[in-house]
Structure 1
Amino acid sequence: MIDATVFVVDDDQAMRTSLQWLIESTGMQVQTYASADAFLAAHYPGRAGCLLLDVRMPGMSGLELQAYLAREGYRLPVILITGHGDVAMAVKAMKAGAMDFIEKPFHDEDLLRSIRNALEFDQKHRASRAARAEIVMRLAELTPREHEVMAMVTDGKSNKEIAASLNVSAKTVEAHRARVMEKMRAESLAELVRMALLAAPDAPL
């Protein structure tokens, strides 16, 4: 999490200053913005970290910024902060994907714990996305027949069953299977299955 940044968006300057001091006191990097528009003007997709949002701000609110980022495919974990929170707002924020919802006044350690959790979540998901991208690149090297063989192998079918299904010899299946393992750089069948699961379009990240 060395390159991770906590992005603070709050229209209250005193709160921004206080949050920056608190977060930086733990060694974490911080960038602060007075509005959602200011954040969007400076931010670009792909940056590591998390987003600390005030719910009620002039112009675009924290909830509206959260919804906009989700629509645009931004994957930063979001923590919402408000002094006017209620149960309905908290539920709405969490259903929309917020990692946490914290009401002012809050305990410093509670907020820092939430931030650390969000940064750890971001780090793990970035690693998963990078692993998926690498697997997708390896899959692109497979021939159509090798794709067929891999799909049946990871579905638990034996060489004999695959041979019968493709109307080829068991030796041919063994050759295809060996090339699949080599191209995918899989050391075992279990690893190949894990790759197939991670590369699936509906795999959670």
Structure 2
Amino acid sequence: MIEQKKLSPLVRLVDDDEMVLRSESFLVRMDGWQTAEYSSAEEFLERDDFIRPGCVVLDIRMPRMSGIELQSLMNQRNIDLPIIFLTGHGDIDMAVSSMKKGAVDFLVKPPSEERFQEAVKTAVEKDVANKTIKFERQTKEALFEELTPREQEIALPLAKGSANKVIAIDLNISEQSIKKYRSSLMGKLGIRTTVELNEFLRSIGKL
């Protein structure tokens, strides 16, 4: 059985300007979030714990690897942290390009404190919610995989409302066996009714 790690959200700040990093960190910490500051995209990739939920506040123009290049690399590596771009050199084309690639916001330096803090709050809360949903699905998928092949086979028609007798005939086994399999699979999945079973299987894409 998989377990969810209780990880507090982390706001990653990536900017080659030390003064900007300090200012950003101060505003984020004022709102109660933990921060990690990186002076380059390379440092972020080398040091960050991508498992922790949160977001990345990312400068567009940096030496060696730009923010846009880092975003592309994160997408390639399936680092699914929401990105807020913050730049003093932004334009419409950059904004459109970054949003198409998955950025959640694009702010021009210097944004107002309220706008910046609201963008971070929205991104972090969205990521926490998404990762919670993802974990819940993974947990359900793991439970389903713990069923025997026969239990999985029976679960599908049960969830669709088929009677025990009908399933028994279709599978050429006794109705009593169906009742035993039904009781076993319900117990393993932690559910009590076929309505709950239907919802469970739909949530993991089995129906």
What TM bracket, shorter-length normalisation? 0.7 to 0.9
Aligned to 2:31: 26
**Bigger shift: 90-99 or 163-172?**
163-172
| Deviation sequence 1:99-123 (CA, Å, 0-9, x none) | 1122223121111111111111121
- 2:113 aligned to 85, 101, 108, which one? 108
Q: In structure 1, how many angstroms separate the alpha carbons of the residues matched to 2:7 and 2:120?
A: 14
The aligned amino acid for 2:132 is A
RMSD: 2.2
Provide the residue aligned with 1:38 in structure 2. Answer: 43
Comparing 171-180 and 8-17, the one that deviates more: 171-180
- By how many angstroms is 1:63 displaced? 1.5
Contact in 1 for aligned 2:161/2:194 (Cα 8 Å): no
Seq. identity, %: 36
AA paired with 1:166? L
Question: Cα–Cα, structure 1 residues 103 and 159, in superposed 2: closer, same or farther, change >3 Å?
Answer: farther
Q: Distance in 2 between matches of 1:2 and 1:106?
A: 29
SS, match of residue 142 in structure 1 = coil
When residues 159 and 103 of structure 1 are mapped into structure 2, their CA distance, relative to the original with a 3 A threshold, is farther
1:96 matched residue in structure 2: 101
> Which of 3, 9, 13 does residue 4 from structure 1 map onto?
9
SS in 2 for 1:187: coil
Write the distance in 2 (CA, Å) between the matches of 1:61 and 1:107: 24
Q: Distance in 1 between matches of 2:122 and 2:161?
A: 37
Equivalent position amino acid for 1:135 in 2: K
Which aligned pairs between 1:130-169 and structure 2 lie closer than 5 A? 130-169=135-174
Aligned residue for 1:93, secondary structure, equals helix
Counterpart of 1:73 in structure 2: which amino acid?
A: N
Quote the Cα distance in structure 2 between the aligned partners of 1:158 and 1:84: 65
Structure 2 residue corresponding to 1:123, chosen from 128, 138, 141? 128
* Counterpart contact for 2:11–2:34, Cα < 8 Å: yes
The answer as to 2:202 corresponding to 1:197 is: yes
Separation of aligned partners in 2, 1:169 and 1:6 = 57
- Cα distance 1:124–1:61, how it changes in 2: closer, same or farther (>3 A)? same
- 1:18-55 superposed Cα distances (whole Å, 9 cap, x missing partner): 11111112221111111100111111331222111111
1:130-183: per-residue Cα shift (whole Å, max 9, x none)? Answer: 222322221222111111111223344443443343233444333322221111
Unpaired runs of 5+ residues, structure 2, are 1-5
Contact 2:83–2:103 (8 Å) recurs in 1 = yes
Q: Secondary structure at 1:63's aligned position in 2?
A: helix
| Partner in structure 1 of residue 54 of structure 2 | 49
- 2:18 aligns with 13
Assess, with a 3 A threshold, how the Cα gap between structure 1 residues 12 and 151 changes in structure 2: closer, same or farther.
Answer: same
Aligned residues: 201
Q: Kindly provide the amino acid, as one letter, of the partner of residue 154 in structure 2.
A: V
TM-score (norm. length: structure 1): 0.87
TM-score under structure 2 length normalisation = 0.86
Residues in 1 aligned to 2:40 and 2:29: alpha-carbon distance in whole angstroms:
20
Once the two structures are overlaid, the 10-residue window that deviates more, 6-15 or 81-90, is 81-90
Find the aligned partners of 1:78 and 1:157 in 2 and give their Cα distance: 47
CA distance in 2: counterparts of 1:83 and 1:52, whole angstroms = 13
